[in-house]
């Protein structure tokens, strides 16, 4: 079980550093408010998960903390998906207006 704990801790360290790095990158971008909130919440979710994991080990894995740690994993995954969704680039052509709408916006006559 020592190897399993080592692997788990290594993944935890990578998650913390990755979340901090992704959050720092996201904070440097001009984001809409929903994306900014998602970027700020990711390190909090990962930090809470880390604290739950440490407490779970120190208290010899009580069921309640073990379940909370599992739920924390779902929260971290959900937070990461929200951040990646908020930071994604739109697909090509998504923001393009149809010809009629472009003409109306430009003040011209609609295309026939």
Annotated domain spans of the chain: 2-106
Instruction: For the chain, give the mean pLDDT.
Output: 87
pTM over 0.85: no
Which tokens in the block code for residue 27?
């904070």
pLDDT band of residue 49 (cuts 50, 70, 90) is very high
Mean pLDDT of 4-14: 95
What number of residues does the chain have? 112
Q: How far is CA 77 from each of CA 22, 28, 30, 68, rounded to the nearest angstrom? A: 14, 22, 24, 14
What pLDDT is stored for residue 57 in this prediction? 93
What pLDDT is stored for residue 41 in this prediction? 95
In this predicted structure, the answer to whether residue 105 has a pLDDT above a threshold of 80 is no
Scan for tokens 């692997």, then name that residue. Answer: 7
Helix H or strand E segment including 6? helix 2-27
Provide the terminal-to-terminal Cα distance of the chain, rounded to the nearest Å.
Answer: 72
Mean pLDDT of 26-54: 93
Which of 27-36, 59-68, 98-107 has the largest mean confidence? Answer: 59-68
What number of CA atoms fall less than 13 Å from residue 82's CA on the CB side?
A: 19
What are all long-range contacts of 14-21, with beta carbons under 8 Å and residues at least 24 apart? 15/46, 15/49, 15/50, 15/76, 16/46, 16/47, 16/50, 19/43, 19/45, 19/46, 19/76, 19/80
């Amino acid at each position: 079980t020592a190897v399993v704990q080592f692997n788990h801790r290594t993944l935890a360290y990578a998650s913390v550093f990755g979340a901090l790095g992704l959050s720092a990158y996201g904070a440097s971008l001009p984001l809409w408010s929903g994306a900014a909130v998602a970027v700020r919440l990711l390190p909090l979710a990962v930090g809470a998960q880390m604290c739950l994991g440490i407490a779970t080990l120190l208290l010899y894995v009580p069921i309640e903390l073990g379940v909370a740690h599992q739920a924390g994993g779902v929260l971290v995954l959900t937070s990461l998906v929200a951040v990646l969704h908020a930071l994604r680039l739109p697909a090509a052509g998504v923001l393009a207006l149809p010809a009629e709408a472009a003409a109306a916006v430009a003040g011209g006559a609609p295309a026939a």
